[in-house]
Amino acid sequence: MDRRELLKMVALATGGVMIGGEFLLSGCKNEKSGAVAFKPDDIAFLDEVGETIIPTTSSPGAKAAGIGNFMKVMVTDCYTEPDQKVFMEGIRQLNEFCKKKNGIGFMQATPQQRTALLEKIDAEAKAYQKEKNEKEAKLKEEAAKERNKTIALSPNHYFTMMKQLTLFGYFTSKPGATQALRYVAVPGHYDGCMPYKKGDKAWAT
Amino acid sequence: MPGNQPNIATKATEANTYDAIVIGSGISGGWAAKELTEKGLKTIMLERGRNFEHIKDYKTAQWDPWDFPHRGRTTEAQRKAYPVIHRGWAANEAVMDYWANEQDCPYTEIKPFTWWRSYQLGGRSILWGRQSYRWSDFDFEANAKDGIAIDWPVRYKEIAPWYDYVEKFAGISGSLEGLPQLPDGQYLPPIPLNCVEKEVAARLKKQYNNQRHLFIGRVANITKPIQSRTNCQFRNRCWEGCPFGGYFSTQSSTLPAAIATDKLTVRPFSIVTRIIYDKNTQKATGVEVLDAETNQSYTYYAKIVFLNASALNSAWVLMNSATDIWPDGLGSSSGELGHNIMDHHYNCGASGIMPGFEDVYYDGGRRPTGFYIPRFANLFNDKRNYLRGFGYQGGASREGWSREVAELNIGANFKEALTQPGTWTIGATAFGEILPYHENKITLDPNKKDKWGLPVLAMDAEIKDNEKAMRKDMVNEMAQMLTAVGATQVTTWDNGHAMGHGIHEMGTARMGTDPKTSVLNKYNQVWDAKNVFVTDGSFMVSAACVNPSLTYMAFTARAVNHAVDELKKNNI
């Protein structure tokens, strides 16, 4: 088996790694596709959501990594229909929430307003996913006792999807991997004991 | 290059006649072809899937992560098309078309069975995990000592020179450890452990009185150039196919050697439907092939047949052969053909955080292996409430961007935190031995056919109480060891094990000393047709707990040597 994948499994088991890791275990899901139709406005919107999560600093932000388009590809090709629906509806919900809070839509909001808004939604999404995971872990445990029994999963939070896709898409993109992180295509050697000083970048792969 | 334009069969019998036929082109088939051709035999290698050329067909191997449209994830459509591959970690955008088409090639699961197949030239030698360990006499003697199944007809001493032989050619990197339960071999320099692993190895020795060992996984990745192959470049993308030839595969190693003899013909899209048996001579005369593209049937003739289609498919070929003499197929006279299926059970272990070591990291290299902890259970004075044992494979690394960062959720500070490595984590999964149970079997399903109208296999196998008791220990021992070496927040997991998931299927045509209780003799010859040799995982009498491919290589080289000797003596 591929060692790298094995190590990911190991990391997964700690429960500490969710982004990307969750994709790894569930793969991209089954059922019917085609519930999504991203408009250019949606891509632009998602670019700004991504840029708020991973902004431009000394390295490019998520927008420069084409995060809106990446989300479109992943949601269209790899999400289940229920998840697709939650995601599309999430774009609308996020904007409505912004209007309610700030009196203007997300695209019109200032970077400070956007950050404050997403901090709030992120906290809500985390609490929601935590409760969902705990509930489903219990159900799975019970289902495991009966062979072939499947459990009904409740929907994921839309912001969990957006944040996961932003992080995954950004850090595996060229700007993310080569400028925010370090990437060497053909290392040619391995030294497992290099000095590290705080601030040195992590390896992309 | 290999098989570019393979000699396609003509109708003339003479043109279809070879000295030897090799069925299958994976690890053991590649070895059979190399050894047979190097001994001067005109050989045809039959592969049921497509041609797959070294370097040229590794289409993603030079891509960067961002070149993958889904960054490695698979799509909903792929998930539907490949439900079995999606049961585990093997579903990845880079290699999806390396796996066998599950719609064309169904099978029946009387009990859950995860069968990961690769139907293309090279078979699973492209995708394999490359871990390469020798067996010891603890393994070869285990059945006899425990009174389980039948005894192995060989002992380590007889196989050791063949391990030497195949290791030198395949190129195995590893360290010499001097352990009787895991004999040292002919190794290229070991890939290093990282700082944390080195320290954990030292602590483990100390905590367990020098009875527990942790060292780098012995792996078929070369750390020095051999033959025309470049040494491993530490990209850890082996399974996409290595453009450097950095690891052993049919394409990088055995096939070029066989091609160089000018004695080899490769024929892709060749599904062997049966071995043709002559009851007068009690030998095989050849094989019948169904062309997977044209549906035409062809016959090939040879003095020797090597069956290397993988443990389950080799049994399938035998079950479909000589049914006019034995209703259950060639090699079924013992009643053991298709029985005694084994695998290694895994998907359980433990992991934790290693505090400290914040001032060390690794360079940009990505190792194609991790650490190995060899078996300790039921060895020497150790006694457990189950038979046999297990080893661990794992690694230590610093967390990357996918971790949670305390107090940070959004924005510049969050991003900056994620661009630096996190704490060190360490974990390992266990690989345990599964006993050979006669009732764990495969049969032909009379009701289901594949795309070509051929009967499919029905799997009826499972792990039992011995393995279940072992799994508890596999998890607990790892958790205890991690705690003992100073790991914190140690967590365990056990995701259960469906047979086949270990991708180490074996035992369907076991060898032995008595034709009444075994399918093959000690040289992998079918008792009922002595010019037919089965040298993939089918011949295994027990499973041990180490990865088996190196053992298949050694037995294959030995079997060819024997076959050619016997041929010279006119014994077959």
Do the Cβ atoms of B350 and B428 come closer than 8 Å?
yes
Q: How far apart are CA B536 and CA B109, in angstroms?
A: 22
CB contact under 8 A, A115 and B238: no
- Whether residue A160 lies within 8 A of chain B, CB to CB, comes out as no
CB contact under 8 A, B419 and A202: yes
**Helix, strand, coil % in chain B, rounded to nearest 5:** 25, 20, 55
Instruction: Indicate the average pLDDT of chain B.
Output: 96
Find the angle CA(A131)-CA(A115)-CA(A179) to the nearest 5 degrees. Answer: 100
- Domain spans in chain B, listed from the N-terminal domain onward: 1-57+116-171+248-338+439-462+505-572, 177-240+344-433+467-498
Give this complex's ipTM: 0.92
- pLDDT band with cut points at 50, 70 and 90 for residue B404: confident
For residues A146-169, give the mean pLDDT. Answer: 88
Residue A13 or residue B324, greater confidence: B324
User: How distant is the alpha carbon of residue A190 from its chain centre?
Assistant: 30
- pLDDT band with cut points at 50, 70 and 90 for residue A147: low
Fold annotation for B1-57+116-171+248-338+439-462+505-572: FAD/NAD(P)-binding domain (3.50.50)
Instruction: Using an 8 Å CB-CB cutoff, list chain B residues near A18.
Output: 402, 404
Q: How far apart are CA B518 and CA B282, in angstroms?
A: 17
Instruction: Please give the residue of chain A at the shortest CA–CA distance from B190.
Output: A190
- CB B181: neighbour CB atoms within 10 A? 21
Two tokens at B483?
């705690």
Do the Cβ atoms of B325 and B279 come closer than 8 Å?
yes
Q: Measured between alpha carbons, how far apart are the two ends of chain A, in Å?
A: 18
Instruction: Please give the residue of chain B at the shortest CA–CA distance from A9.
Output: B89
CA A99 to each of CA A93, A157, A158: distance values in angstroms, whole numbers, following the listed order: 10, 20, 18
> Partners of B277 in the beta sheet?
B284
Q: Which range, of A127-141, B73-87, B172-186, averages the lowest pLDDT?
A: A127-141
pLDDT at B120 over 70: yes
For residues B348-358, give the mean pLDDT. Answer: 97
pLDDT at A33 over 80: no
CB contact under 8 A, B364 and A19: no
Contacts with A148 (C-beta within 8 Å, 6 or more apart), sequence order:
none
DSSP classification of residue B227: T
- CB B168: neighbour CB atoms within 10 A? 14
- Domain spans in chain A, listed from the N-terminal domain onward: 7-172
Backbone angles phi, psi at B20, to 5 degrees: -145, 145
Two tokens at A91?
């774009």
- Whether residue A15 lies within 8 A of chain B, CB to CB, comes out as yes
Q: Measured between alpha carbons, how far apart are the two ends of chain B, in Å?
A: 33
Which pTM was predicted? 0.94
Backbone angles phi, psi at B167, to 5 degrees: -65, -40
Helix axes A81-102, A67-78, angle to 10 degrees: 140
Q: Tens of pLDDT along B501-559?
A: 999 999 999 999 999 999 999 999 999 999 999 999 999 999 999 999 999 999 999 99
What is residue A179's three-state secondary structure?
helix
Among A177, A187, A188, beta carbon nearest to B66: A177
Q: What percent of chain B has pLDDT over 90?
A: 96
Do the Cβ atoms of A49 and A106 come closer than 8 Å?
yes
Q: What percent of chain B has pLDDT over 70?
A: 98
The pLDDT score that the predictor gives to residue B438 is 98
Do the Cβ atoms of B478 and B430 come closer than 8 Å?
yes
B86 Cα to chain A: minimum distance (Å)? 7
For residues A169-187, give the mean pLDDT. Answer: 98
